[in-house]
């Protein structure tokens, strides 16, 4: 009897377990269906974003922002918000639980942009038809003729596109208006030269070419009219580029998806800045006699550091060799990573160093353009800003900032093992959600973490530690990420002046004037994004150190890196759960 009861108990328990597992599987299957539908509908609502990540089903569609469009978008995301509630509190797989959190945040973020942030009314640089066209024209995802057909359908709506833009723009900021003029003027060559030449050399019929070229002329004229519209705006009482504190804090939470709030990260950055100043003083004091022994040491510790940095910054490449120097350093980084057995690299994914396209000018001097999860074999572009338009003095200032030491760290950040490496891994993630809605602090934080990790392993020396010079210049570079957060929070929440901002960057972060001016400009054009670097870095570094402490002698750095990157571009707080479970 006892055995029979025991047997019955086992059968009942197994039956319950199977039923529970089946229910869990059903939730996962239902969620998979929801996420697939959500992605498809999201692309339909964001065709330009879809194209940028390699999904070309909606290439011919053009987002024309209007009051009716805004109303429809709000309705769409509100509906998605209601649909996703079905999965709250349900037992999903680890990966789907993360995707649920990411989708929910994305919906809330879109609604915030539409209902509260409303950049469509004060940021004219959000309207640049030629920028969208340039990406499609440069792509290799389809034959030229097929891409041209989609481009033609887009530009045929140029009049409506810019007409709606002009009707929506109300009291724009001076800074974003100037950026819009710069970018729209700079990218007119996309219509007048690049697209026109592509049409002429294509295999389209002569009649098709004629119709197409007429549309190009009309689109170019509409963009020129838009530029004149912007130049005629009265910006005497323009909207401030500074966000209201309540908007900034909410935007930070939604965009960062961090385990920390904005104030905490700001305080961590201030503390890190003070730590770096102490480390930099010790190194500079040590290097003084090697480089400046004939000069008296300043009593001011920051001035002493500045003098040594300025001496090391004199060694840099020539202005016309800036891009070539970057290209030569990429193989050296790959060799170091492989020799030190730090991360598995995929040599089949091409990295192309190119001059920064005209439509990207005005915000960052160097960046990575990834092919996205739908175009995994496409080129990754390392966009390098040209110094051709700089005065001799400005170019020299810029090159001192990107001297022979910091240029290597820039390449670590942008290329290997930074953005390029991380984004290759992200594209291999089985979760499209994590790849599509990549978390900026994770992406930027990984690149910043990579800088420190490389020096910890002796870069650029294969058989010894990094030099004091390299560490000093790395600390100076790392101060950029730290001060990015301090600057961004101080501008939008503490409302510091430009004078105080430049003092922070030049006196306390040892930046050249040209770099400091560019960073101020960037901080006036963006918000929260500058916090990504230090926020992500702090969370990644803290996670690594916690795992090292937990695993002790069993900790394997390469395995840790490979595992961390395998989760795609998910927020670090989510990856943290995975890696600590």
Which pLDDT band, with edges at 50, 70 and 90, does 430 fall under? confident
State the pLDDT at residue 195.
96
Give the pLDDT confidence of 190-216 residue by residue, as tens digits. Answer: 999 999 999 999 999 999 999 999 999
572 has pLDDT over 90: yes
Between CA 568 and CA 424 the distance in angstroms is 9
363 has pLDDT over 60: no
State the pLDDT at residue 355.
85
Alpha carbons within 13 angstroms on the beta-carbon side of residue 221 total 10
Which pLDDT band, with edges at 50, 70 and 90, does 367 fall under? confident
Domain residue spans in the chain? 2-45+66-122, 127-241, 252-580
State the pLDDT at residue 360.
64
Give the pLDDT confidence of 327-350 residue by residue, as tens digits. Answer: 999 999 999 999 999 999 987 887
15 has pLDDT over 80: no
State the pLDDT at residue 365.
65
State the pLDDT at residue 8.
39
27 has pLDDT over 90: yes
Q: Which residues pair with 353 in a beta bridge?
A: 382
- Quick check: helix, strand or coil at residue 382? strand
Q: Assign 3-class secondary structure to 33-69.
A: HHHHHHHHHHHHHCHHHHHHCCCCCCCCCCCCCCHHH
Cα dihedral 163, 168, 171, 176 sign: negative
Give the pLDDT confidence of 262-278 residue by residue, as tens digits. Answer: 999 999 999 999 999 99
Q: What is the mean pLDDT of the chain?
A: 91
State the pLDDT at residue 347.
79
Give the pLDDT confidence of 113-166 residue by residue, as tens digits. Answer: 999 999 999 999 999 999 889 888 887 789 999 999 999 999 999 999 999 999
Average pLDDT over residues 279-303: 96
Provide the pairing of β-strand 351-355 with 366-369: unpaired
State the pLDDT at residue 359.
61
User: Which residues neighbour 11 within 8 Å (Cβ) at sequence distance 6 or greater?
Assistant: none
Query: What six digits make up the tokens of 73?
Result: 């978008």
Between CA 206 and CA 196 the distance in angstroms is 13
Give the pTM. 0.88
Return the higher-pLDDT residue of 542 and 380.
542
Between CA 358 and CA 385 the distance in angstroms is 9
415 has pLDDT over 70: yes
């Amino acid at each position: 009897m006892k055995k029979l009861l025991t047997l019955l108990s086992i059968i009942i328990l197994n039956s319950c377990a199977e039923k529970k597992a089946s229910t869990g599987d059903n939730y996962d299957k239902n969620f998979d269906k929801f996420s697939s539908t959500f992605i498809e509908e999201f692309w339909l609502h964001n065709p330009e974003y879809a194209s940028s990540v390699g999904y070309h089903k909606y290439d011919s569609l053009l987002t024309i922002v209007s009051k009716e469009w805004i109303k429809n978008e709000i309705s769409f995301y509100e509906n998605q918000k209601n649909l996703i509630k079905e999965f709250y509190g349900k037992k999903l797989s680890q990966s789907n639980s993360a995707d649920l959190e990411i989708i929910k945040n994305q919906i809330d973020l879109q609604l915030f942009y539409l209902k509260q942030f409303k950049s469509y009314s004060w940021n004219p640089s959000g309207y640049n038809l030629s920028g969208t066209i340039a990406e499609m024209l440069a792509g290799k995802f389809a034959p030229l003729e097929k891409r041209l057909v989609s481009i033609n359908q887009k530009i045929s709506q140029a009049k409506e596109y810019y007409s709606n833009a002009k009707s929506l723009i109300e009291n724009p900021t001076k800074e974003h208006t100037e950026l819009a003029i710069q970018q729209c003027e700079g990218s007119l060559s996309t219509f007048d030269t690049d697209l026109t030449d592509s049409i002429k050399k294509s295999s389209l019929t002569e009649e098709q070419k004629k119709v197409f070229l007429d549309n190009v002329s009309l689109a170019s004229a509409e963009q020129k009219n838009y530029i004149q519209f912007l130049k005629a705006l009265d910006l005497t009482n323009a909207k401030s580029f500074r966000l209201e504190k309540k908007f900034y804090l909410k935007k930070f939470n939604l965009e960062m998806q961090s385990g920390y709030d904005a104030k905490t990260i700001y305080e961590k950055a201030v503390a890190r800045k003070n730590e770096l100043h102490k480390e930099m003083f010790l190194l500079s004091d040590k290097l003084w006699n090697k480089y400046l022994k004939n000069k008296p040491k300043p009593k001011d510790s920051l001035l002493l550091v500045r003098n040594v940095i300025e001496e090391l910054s004199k060694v840099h490449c020539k202005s016309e060799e800036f891009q070539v120097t970057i290209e030569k350093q990429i193989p050296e980084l790959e060799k170091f990573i492989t020799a030190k057995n730090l991360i598995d690299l995929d040599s089949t994914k091409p990295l192309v160093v190119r001059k920064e396209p005209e439509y990207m000018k005005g915000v960052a001097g160097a960046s990575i353009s990834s092919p996205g999860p739908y175009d995994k074999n496409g080129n990754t572009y390392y966009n390098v800003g040209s110094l051709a338009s700089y005065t001799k003095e400005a170019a020299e200032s810029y090159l001192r900032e990107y001297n022979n030491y910091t240029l290597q760290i820039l390449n670590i950040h942008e290329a290997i093992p930074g953005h390029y490496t991380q984004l290759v891994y992200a594209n291999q993630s089985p979760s499209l959600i994590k790849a599509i809605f990549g978390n900026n602090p994770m992406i930027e934080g990984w690149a910043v973490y990579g800088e420190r990790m490389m020096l910890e392993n002796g870069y650029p020396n294969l058989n010894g530690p990094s030099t004091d010079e390299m560490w000093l210049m790395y600390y100076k570079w790392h101060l950029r990420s730290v001060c990015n957060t301090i600057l961004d929070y101080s501008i939008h929440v503490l409302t510091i002046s430009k004078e105080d901002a430049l003092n922070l960057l030049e006196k306390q972060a040892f930046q050249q004037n040209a770099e400091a001016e560019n960073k101020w400009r960037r901080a006036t054009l963006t918000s929260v994004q500058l916090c990504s670097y230090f926020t992500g870095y702090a969370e990644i570094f803290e996670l690594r150190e916690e795992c090292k402490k937990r695993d002790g002698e069993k900790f394997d750095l390469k395995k840790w890196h490979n595992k961390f990157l395998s989760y795609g571009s998910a927020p670090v707080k989510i990856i943290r759960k995975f890696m600590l479970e």
